[in-house]
Amino acid sequence: MMAVSRYRLKYLAQSGQRGAKLAEWLLARTDKLLGVVLLGNNLLNAAAASLLTVVTFRLFGANELAMTLATLSVTFLILVFSEVTPKVIGASYPDRIASASSFVLVPLLKVFYPVVWFVNLFVHGLLKLTRLTPPDGSHCNTMCVEELHSLLAESGSLLPAAHRTMLVNLFDLENLTVDDVMRHRGEVEAIDLNADLEEIVHHLQTSHHAHLPVYRDELNEVLGIVNVRRALARLGEEALQPDAFVETLKAPYFVPSGTPLLTQLGHFQNNRQSMGLVVDEYGELLGLVTVEDVLEEIVGEFADVSPLPARSWQVEADGSYLVDGAASLRELNRKLGLDFPADKVRTLNGLILECLEAMPEVGVTIKIAGRPVEIIQIAGRKVKTARIKPNPTPLH
């Protein structure tokens, strides 16, 4: 009864199994269940010991050796047939035995209820003296996020791997923010309204995104979001005019930096938005996050319609990785099996600069989380390309 899974029992009870319903009813009254079980258990054990003592005394008289052997024999029989074997069977097949035994325990509880109530009266009094308050049955069915995470990790073949991965990723959203999944400012594709009309039209025609931010002069001055398909449809009807183009823009949706990812998913749903511009406390644009970015954290990456390479790294012949400096540390850790710290900085460039504590130079190699990282190419003050080398083979 104590080894049975409460959640499995609840499922069986909801499926209509009467034995499971009775077992669930008993487990909701643990004090009474233990009272009737232990009452019968101790009563029968004591009766067996007393009976064997009387039989031994009548057969052999007051023989100390006979009484000792009788005591050892009854102890052995009780341990094997009344204690260990039944409990091992019950722990091995808790679902079936709990449901079947409930048909016996419920009537016994009703018959011996006065005795059980009287015993529990002293039990509860003793608990009050020791200031111990047992929780009610509802607390037994609660499970924290960490326990659910462990349960999913140990589900094995009972749950398909894809489903297990999605559920684990869903729990992990609690520990992520929009900054962890956003496209950083330098990677945001946007349209400058002050550019030539031909350049704007070409940008719209060659874009592989459904929506693009539109700004004037610099990226912090976002005027709105253009629907690329609708804008291209209007181009076929009339020439592109800046004022008319601005009127068709959708108001930009801003997201504060540090917003938890799960919270932001709810905001997207409530505000009927699919894309948000991440800004810091000073209103500076940090990057762009979409519903797709959030969903990819749960179900994995979607197929990319862009002809550009989706990955920000490539494998070299020697087993090393040639990686873009703007690559996300979380993505590198997940895809390449690395263990780079991603709590303070979020890109490989940021991690290298943090470890160097100086401006990067080509050819410099540093060791990060046990992996040699060589700077291959720099652009201004940033690491453009780096090589992550395999772990050196230890000498024996």
Around 99, how many Cα atoms within 13 Å sit in the side-chain half-sphere? 17
Residue 127 CA to residue 16 CA, distance in Å, equals: 36
Around 206, how many Cα atoms within 13 Å sit in the side-chain half-sphere? 11
Is the pLDDT at 303 greater than 70, yes or no?
Answer: no
Looking at mean pLDDT, say which of 281-290, 307-316, 326-335, 337-346 comes out highest. 281-290
Is the pLDDT at 383 greater than 70, yes or no?
Answer: yes
Q: Which two tokens stand for residue 391?
A: 């772990």
**The pLDDT value given to residue 309:** 47
Phi first, then psi, for residue 365 (nearest 5°) are -120, 130
Average pLDDT over residues 79-98: 88
Residue 389 CA to residue 370 CA, distance in Å, equals: 10
Residue 276 CA to residue 268 CA, distance in Å, equals: 8
Residues 227-250 have pLDDT tens digits of: 888 888 877 555 567 777 788 889
**The pLDDT value given to residue 278:** 94
pLDDT confidence tier of residue 318, bands split at 50, 70 and 90: confident
**The pLDDT value given to residue 396:** 47
Q: Which residues of 89-106 are buried (b: 16+ CB within 10 A; e: fewer)?
A: ebeeebbebbbebbeebb
Q: Which domains does the chain have, with CATH numbers?
A: 6-142 (no CATH), 180-299 (3.10.580.10), 313-388 (3.30.465.10)
Is the pLDDT at 288 greater than 90, yes or no?
Answer: yes
**The pLDDT value given to residue 143:** 64
Average pLDDT over residues 206-216: 89
The one-character DSSP state at 3 is: S
Residue 224 CA to residue 214 CA, distance in Å, equals: 6
Q: Which two tokens stand for residue 234?
A: 């209007």
- DSSP-assigned letters across all residues of 181-229: HSEEGGG---EETTS-HHHHHHHHHH---SEEEEESSSTTSEEEEEEHH
Residue 181 CA to residue 289 CA, distance in Å, equals: 7
Average pLDDT over residues 330-355: 86
**The pLDDT value given to residue 252:** 92
Among left, alpha and beta (phi > 0; psi -120 to 50; other), residue 197 is alpha
CA-to-CA separations, 57 to 44, 71, 205, 323, in angstroms, rounded: 20, 12, 105, 88
Helix (H), strand (E), coil (C) string for 304-321: CCCCCCCCCEEECCCCCE
Q: Are 225 and 252 in contact (CB under 8 A)?
A: yes
**The pLDDT value given to residue 308:** 43
Selection from 311, 339, 341, 315 nearest residue 326 by Cα = 311
- DSSP-assigned letters across all residues of 114-155: HHHHHHHHHHHHHHHHTT-----GGGGG---HHHHHHHHHT-
Return the percent helix, strand and coil in the chain, to nearest 5: 55, 15, 30
Selection from 291, 259, 294 nearest residue 278 by Cα = 259
pTM exceeds 0.75, yes or no: no
Q: Which amino acid makes up residue 168?
A: V
Residues 320-333 have pLDDT tens digits of: 899 988 888 888 88
The one-character DSSP state at 326 is: T
Average pLDDT over residues 308-317: 70
Burial class (CB in 10 A: 0-12, 13-18, 19+), 183: middle
**pLDDT over 90 percentage in the chain:** 18
**The pLDDT value given to residue 156:** 65
Residues 171-188 have pLDDT tens digits of: 777 788 898 888 888 788
Residues 243-287 have pLDDT tens digits of: 777 888 899 999 999 899 889 999 999 999 999 999 998 889 999
Residues 101-132 have pLDDT tens digits of: 899 999 999 998 898 889 888 888 888 888 87
What residues pair up with 368 in beta bridges, in sequence order? 371
Residues 124-174 have pLDDT tens digits of: 888 888 887 766 555 555 667 677 777 777 766 667 877 777 887 787 777
**The pLDDT value given to residue 307:** 47
**The pLDDT value given to residue 385:** 92
Selection from 304, 270, 273, 311 nearest residue 291 by Cα = 273
Q: What is the SS3 assignment for 368?
A: strand
E-strand ranges in the chain read: 183-184, 191-192, 211-215, 222-227, 254-256, 275-279, 285-290, 313-315, 321-324, 365-368, 371-379, 382-388
CA-to-CA separations, 278 to 65, 252, 273, 379, in angstroms, rounded: 87, 11, 14, 25
**The pLDDT value given to residue 374:** 92
pLDDT confidence tier of residue 205, bands split at 50, 70 and 90: confident
Average pLDDT over residues 54-65: 84
Is the pLDDT at 289 greater than 90, yes or no?
Answer: yes
Is the pLDDT at 302 greater than 70, yes or no?
Answer: no
